[in-house]
Amino acid sequence: MEGNKELIEALNQIEKEKDISKEVLLDAMENSLVAACKNHFGKADNIKVYIDRTTGAVSVFAERVVVEQVQDPVLEISLAEATMKFPKGKYELGDIVQVEVTPKNFGRIAAQKAKQVVVQKIREEERKVLFNQYYGREKDIVTGIVQRYVGNNVSINLGKVDAVLMENEQIKGEHFRPTDRIKLYVLEVKDTTKGPKITVSRTHPELVKRLFEAEVTEVKEGIVEIKSISREAGDRTKMAVSSNDPNVDPVGACVGLNGARVNAIVNELGGEKIDIVNWSDDPAELIENALSPAKVVSVDVSEGEMSAKVIVPDYQLSLAIGRQGQNARLAARLTGYKIDIKSESQVYGSYYEE
């Protein structure tokens, strides 16, 4: 069959520009042409299609088994016919002979299929590149532009792809307008036939951690370490930090001059309060710090039961427990300990982490 050098030149160009292997495209074309042959031959179980890698010529061959007596002329060829048609070959019974059966006008079908395959492969490859690009951002933060609400979910544009901010990943009471730029934590990236499906969050505690990494140089460089975070999104976050350099105050580094660093993050989170406390390997000291801003008289820790009894001054009891138990609840999550808070005069205020 006559060649199609334009096809080969086009594939060379695609290989160069899109970094998609010419061989991969040619293999895909050959497979799709085999399927196209089913329309012509009724079945294509024994049909092979070859595209010449230099000229682009397309040839169709039927593989037939050499037999003494032909029962099925589609699948078999007699030894006599094989010897007559292909005198250069020496055939024995059971050999496979490739008989060219290229239909007329097959070039037109081949060109059509070639175009479809190239378009499909380019889409697949671009989808794969996008998936790999965003898969590498899983568990990281991205900046997105709000497009619209889809029901209670929000469609966010991340550049070359859209993400979905589900209702349960939104900060309660937070509302967006189209074109708002917001920071998001990438929960999951899935590969689908329509491209990468990206699920993002505004409520995940790791979002706060990543925001501090972006805002605070000492955190990014590993001088200040965020040891633990507990969060009730939209309301309050508690974060325990430590320093690997005795000359660097971890809390001060995160707060910044006149609160500049922490305020930038508070603003990004719509006014969510952030308590930053010093980490300690001593559970009693850590629990005392975690209950900040409340003052603590004493902490009695039972490490085996992972629980602690805390005594606070009478006037500090409501502050230690917090509104609807929030301060104690966040402190319990931050430390991993069940916390029982009582006032000095034994006016009981008790909280157990659920």
Per the domain annotation, does 260 fall within a domain? yes
Instruction: Say whether both 269 and 323 belong to one domain.
Output: no
Single-letter code of the amino acid located at 145: I
- Listed in sequence order, the residues at least 6 apart from 126 whose beta carbon sits closer than 8 Å to its beta carbon are 18
CATH number reported for the structural domain that contains residue 96 in this entry: 3.30.1480.10
Q: Is 6 helix (H, G, I), strand (E, B) or coil?
A: helix
Per the domain annotation, does 137 fall within a domain? no
Instruction: Say whether both 67 and 152 belong to one domain.
Output: no
What's the pLDDT at 3? 56
Instruction: Say whether both 67 and 150 belong to one domain.
Output: no
CATH number reported for the structural domain that contains residue 295 in this entry: 3.30.300.20
What's the pLDDT at 99? 84
Q: Is 179 helix (H, G, I), strand (E, B) or coil?
A: coil
Per the domain annotation, does 138 fall within a domain? no
Instruction: Say whether both 91 and 156 belong to one domain.
Output: no
Per the domain annotation, does 86 fall within a domain? yes
What is the C-alpha separation between 186 and 183, in angstroms, rounded? 10
Instruction: Say whether both 30 and 108 belong to one domain.
Output: yes
Q: Structure tokens of 26?
A: 């040619």
Final residue before a domain boundary, out of 80, 100, 130: 130
Final residue before a domain boundary, out of 237, 256, 279: 279
Tally the domains of the chain.
Answer: 4
Per the domain annotation, does 13 fall within a domain? yes
Burial label, 260 (beta-carbon count in 10 A; 0-12, 13-18, 19+): exposed
Supply the pTM of this predicted model.
0.67
Instruction: Say whether both 31 and 56 belong to one domain.
Output: yes
CATH number reported for the structural domain that contains residue 158 in this entry: 2.40.50.140
* pLDDT tens digit at each of 354 positions of the chain: 455 788 888 888 888 887 788 888 888 888 888 877 776 666 667 888 888 888 888 888 888 898 988 888 888 888 888 888 887 778 888 888 888 888 777 777 777 777 787 788 778 877 887 888 888 888 999 999 999 999 999 999 998 889 999 999 999 888 999 999 999 999 999 988 888 889 999 999 999 999 999 999 999 999 999 999 999 999 999 999 999 999 999 999 999 999 999 999 999 999 999 999 999 999 999 999 999 999 999 999 998 999 999 999 999 999 999 999 999 999 999 999 999 999 988 644 444 444
State the DSSP H helix or E strand holding residue 182, giving kind and residue range, or none if neither. strand 181-192
Instruction: Say whether both 271 and 297 belong to one domain.
Output: no
Per the domain annotation, does 180 fall within a domain? yes
Q: Is residue 144 within 8 Å of residue 156, measured between CB atoms?
A: yes
Per the domain annotation, does 300 fall within a domain? yes
Per the domain annotation, does 119 fall within a domain? yes
Instruction: Say whether both 78 and 181 belong to one domain.
Output: no
Instruction: Say whether both 9 and 94 belong to one domain.
Output: yes
Domain that holds residue 267: 204-279
Instruction: Say whether both 123 and 147 belong to one domain.
Output: no
What is the C-alpha separation between 352 and 235, in angstroms, rounded? 20
Instruction: Say whether both 149 and 160 belong to one domain.
Output: yes
Final residue before a domain boundary, out of 171, 200, 229: 200
Instruction: Say whether both 236 and 344 belong to one domain.
Output: no
Q: Structure tokens of 159?
A: 């550049």
Q: Is 50 helix (H, G, I), strand (E, B) or coil?
A: strand
